[in-house]
Structure 1
Amino acid sequence: MILPPGEDAQGRAVRLERIAEALIERVDRLEETRGSARSMFQAAVALEREAIARTRDLERALADLSEKNRDLAVARAAAEEANRSRTRFLRAASHDLLQPLAAARLFLSALTDTGLDETQAELAARLGAAFESVEELMHAVLDISRLDSQRIEFHRKPVALDALFRRLAVEYAPMAEAAGLRLSFVPTAAVVDSDPTFLRRIAQNLISNALKYTARGGVVVGVRRRGGLVWLECHDSGPGIAAADRARIFDEFQRAVPERGPQGMGLGLSIVRRACLKLGHRLELDSAVGRGTVFRVGLAPADAAAGAGQAAPDPSAAALRGRVVLVVENDAAMRRGYELMLGGRMGMIVRCAGGTAEALAAMGQDDPPDVILADYNLDNGDTGIAAIGALRAAAGQAIAAVMVTARRDGHVARACAACAVPLIEKPVRPADLAAALMQALGAAPPLA
């Protein structure tokens, strides 16, 4: 081996030792690097296995969730179908349920107009009260069914509150008088945006509720403007409602009165809450125990000019005396009831028919009636709408008409609105029927 110039054996040994140390250090670093890479590889493998396991767990959880969602969807569909079935049944059955009640009310109304002795008058009054209770219950059940339906249709329009108040004053004056209470309606020019049928039901339930649970004093119904809304308010001087009871009284069959207090079904305020919620009307309650209660319904104002034509007709039936009415009703008991009420109490000349063909024959060629009173549901698919249309076409003129029905759905309301025919629901109150007939006679629509 040749040594570098000037390097002896000892120098060479030192140099070789340094080279060896450097090599050893490099090898150590390589080993460390290789060990770190191996550790990383092993960690990556472990993470991959963990990810696979967690993915499988997640897939199983998603599968379970999907199955539960399917079960919930099936259960929800079944519940919705059950609700629709209930609504369809009540809608279909309402005519048959209310028909005998409507006939009984007509006969009872005719009976009370005859000379009754004291005992008979008392029996008639008790029968009337019983019919009122049954009617109230049936209307409440049907109203709740409609309001719970997802397919309910509202017909919003400007509603003149003063006209509504006059109608309610006539309707509830006997109830207030019998209870020895004052019932007052404050005149107003307010016109609001709402569904007139359901707004009337809201007001009816609030007034009826106030009269039932007020022992002394009275009930005042009026309007207050606040916060851009028109607030329909019903004040009473009743026992008041404790704070603990103010939420539950809006539930079904709840009454915040003692067991020996006035009896009611506890459905009226539930209907008020449901109707206000569906219509978007705010509902408020203030009460002081021992001092009385006020219910408020917040209504959006409407164009006063649009509602100006809704003034209620005079409920007196004197204007109907001597007018000819053609009754189109397939139920014999109802026809007889109409004959007694329209001919006896209102002094009208009554003709009756069971359907469209019979009505055309009864009318004759040149002798149209002053007004048509038709039931919507007739026999063999015939309807009151068809009868009115056929009679108007045969007469060649716009005969005034009123529709009576036990059905509560949008189809009937739209059909009546299309031919400008007032619609009233069974059971028929004499005052409501007289008002509807006078409304029709005062504003018959143009011939289509």
Structure 2
Amino acid sequence: MTEQLRGDPLDPRLADSRDDLERENNKLRKINAALIQRVEKSMDQQANAYSLFQTAITLESQVRGRTEELKNALSRLERTNDELLAARDAAERANRFKTRFFTAVGHDLLQPLHAARLTCSALAEPNGTPQQQRLAGRIEHALTTIEELLISILDISKLEAGAMSPSLRSVPLNDMFASLALDIEPLAREKNLSLTWRQNNFAVISDPQMLRRIVQNLLANAVQYTQKGGIKLAARRRGGHVRIEVWDTGPGIPPTQRELIFEEFRRAPSTDRPLIGGFGLGLSIVQRMAEALNHPLGLCSTVGHGTRFSISAPFAGTVQQSASLTGTASHAVSYGLNDSKVVVIDNDTAVLEAMQSLLQSWQCEAYLLRDLGELEELISTLSFVPDIVLADYHLDNDTCGITAVDLLRTATGRFIPAVVVTADHTARTSDEVRANGCELLLKPVKPAELRALITHLVSRADGAAS
């Protein structure tokens, strides 16, 4: 019985017990594996969290460093901006100073030159000796050169300082052409060159002073480099613009030189010494003023045949030609000035003395005054009506010559013709002078131009009175 119990494999109780143990063992292994997997996963999450924590700390440190660098950069930028603002303010102050300086210098330099030209013209009158006339001619030539150089330097300086800004309005070209021809014709005649200009009824939108300066420089440049033939001034309508042209029969400009001639102190090759200027500033001023006016500048040249400079300005319509300027200069001075009574008001003694000599050589009666006080004394004893008044714009004690003209007109009850002389080339001064019914002459005054203007104004006043 006992052996049967020990070795009987078919005992169902032992088989069931073994199966139960195996199932229990498998179940425990699964539970253990699940627990181990959960523990490992938990440990991985903790490791990742720690890694993220370390990464966050590192990023925070980097952000703090970048923020500090940005603050430092902003601080440097603020300091730089402050320095730039200070530099800009200093530059603006310097420009304002240069503007005032060049205005004052322009007057102080041109004032003695104005007196010298008047005195020189008196020496060159026909009743002088040949020796006097020859010396006077040389002095006049030297003064003209100095004048053109000074004006060119002042123009360049004003352009650099930003003190020359355009004042646009309608500008009749015919009157401007006639005035320019009167100025340039003596220079052309000295070189046996013809000077012709085509009358027109065009008006353009431009700054009258700057446009005149541009065309004057182009004409002077043409005379300077032309040895035979002539110069022609014309205006042609081109759509919505008018093209002002200056033609010459000079040597022409090679293509390699056409950009260089607009640089300062650059001169085209020439066999002759220049009549005026000669420092290569004229075309540089032309280019800068044309850019300031937004007027396109043109150049067409053929070597050996000549050159055409042009500048285009917006068309402003047509105007009636001025009867006073459609004739020639010789017609303007055909009237006599004998016994014309001229009141001269100027605070510069040298100018008064030179003007007295000049007017006496023209057979005029000159009454010389320095200020409003002397004018009031003259008015109190006035037994005649002056034929014309010549007044300097800037008198002593911040007095304007226009005020003197108004006083004399009020005292006589007559609209006496008046010419205001000034070295101030601004449009504001020009507008003020013309608004008060006066003519404007810029220093240094050309005696021939002064005589022609006096003759015209006096003869027109006589004609109106009759």
Give 1:404's aligned residue: 421
Q: 1:344 aligns with which of 333, 336, 361?
A: 361
Q: 1:423 aligns with which of 434, 440, 451?
A: 440
Change (3 A) 1:20 1:218: farther
Give 2:306's aligned residue: 292
Q: CA deviation at 1:377?
A: 2.0
Give 2:8's aligned residue: none
Change (3 A) 1:123 1:435: closer
Contact between 1:352 and 1:359, CA under 8 Å: does it hold in 2?
Answer: no
Q: 2:136 aligns with which of 124, 129, 133?
A: 124
The C-alpha deviation readout for 1:230-250, integer Å capped at 9, x for no partner, is 111112222333333333322
1:262 is the counterpart of 2:273: yes
**Aligned with 1:302: secondary structure?**
strand
State the one-letter code of the partner of 1:415: E
Give 2:11's aligned residue: none
Give 2:96's aligned residue: 84
Q: TM-score, normalised by structure 1?
A: 0.87
Within a 5 Å distance, the mapping from 1:17-416 to structure 2 comes to: 17-257=29-269, 261-263=272-274, 264-305=278-319, 312=325, 315=329, 316-319=332-335, 321=337, 322-345=339-362, 347-363=363-379, 364=381, 367-409=384-426, 412-416=429-433
Give 2:4's aligned residue: none
Give 2:10's aligned residue: none
Q: CA deviation at 1:384?
A: 0.6
State the one-letter code of the partner of 2:325: A
Q: Matched residues in 1 for 2:46 and 2:430: separation? A: 87
Q: CA deviation at 1:312?
A: 2.8
Q: Matched residues in 2 for 1:158 and 1:411: separation? A: 15
The C-alpha deviation readout for 1:6-60, integer Å capped at 9, x for no partner, is 9822222222322332333333333333333333332232222222222322333
RMSD: 2.8
Contact between 1:191 and 1:302, CA under 8 Å: does it hold in 2?
Answer: yes
The C-alpha deviation readout for 1:82-141, integer Å capped at 9, x for no partner, is 333233222113323222211111111111113344443322211111010111111112
Q: Matched residues in 2 for 1:78 and 1:173: separation? A: 46
Contact between 1:238 and 1:290, CA under 8 Å: does it hold in 2?
Answer: yes
State the one-letter code of the partner of 1:60: N
Contact between 2:124 and 2:132, CA under 8 Å: does it hold in 1?
Answer: no
| Identity rate, percent | 38
Change (3 A) 1:22 1:227: farther
Q: Matched residues in 2 for 1:199 and 1:28: separation? A: 93
Contact between 2:299 and 2:308, CA under 8 Å: does it hold in 1?
Answer: yes
Change (3 A) 1:405 1:58: same
Q: CA deviation at 1:338?
A: 2.1
Q: Matched residues in 2 for 1:325 and 1:7: separation? A: 149
State the one-letter code of the partner of 2:313: L
Q: Matched residues in 2 for 1:239 and 1:47: separation? A: 77
Contact between 2:123 and 2:133, CA under 8 Å: does it hold in 1?
Answer: no
Contact between 2:166 and 2:292, CA under 8 Å: does it hold in 1?
Answer: no
Q: CA deviation at 1:359?
A: 1.8
State the one-letter code of the partner of 1:331: D
Q: Matched residues in 2 for 1:310 and 1:295: separation? A: 28
Gaps in structure 1 of 5+ consecutive residues: 1-5
Q: Select between 34-43 and 195-204 the one with higher mean Cα deviation.
A: 34-43
Change (3 A) 1:105 1:58: same
Q: Matched residues in 2 for 1:91 and 1:431: separation? A: 26
Q: Matched residues in 1 for 2:455 and 2:46: separation? A: 104
**Aligned with 2:351: secondary structure?**
helix
Q: Matched residues in 1 for 2:356 and 2:92: separation? A: 44
Q: CA deviation at 1:309?
A: 5.6
Q: Matched residues in 1 for 2:126 and 2:279: separation? A: 32
Q: CA deviation at 1:76?
A: 3.7
**Aligned with 2:316: secondary structure?**
coil
Q: CA deviation at 1:313?
A: 6.8
The C-alpha deviation readout for 1:129-180, integer Å capped at 9, x for no partner, is 1010111111112222333343445443222212222222222122112212
Contact between 2:299 and 2:307, CA under 8 Å: does it hold in 1?
Answer: yes
Q: CA deviation at 1:370?
A: 2.7
**Aligned with 1:372: secondary structure?**
strand
Change (3 A) 1:198 1:111: same
Q: Matched residues in 1 for 2:64 and 2:455: separation? A: 81
Change (3 A) 1:41 1:127: same
Q: Matched residues in 1 for 2:326 and 2:232: separation? A: 23
Q: CA deviation at 1:426?
A: 0.9
State the one-letter code of the partner of 2:231: V
- Larger Rg: 1 or 2? 2
Contact between 1:91 and 1:409, CA under 8 Å: does it hold in 2?
Answer: no
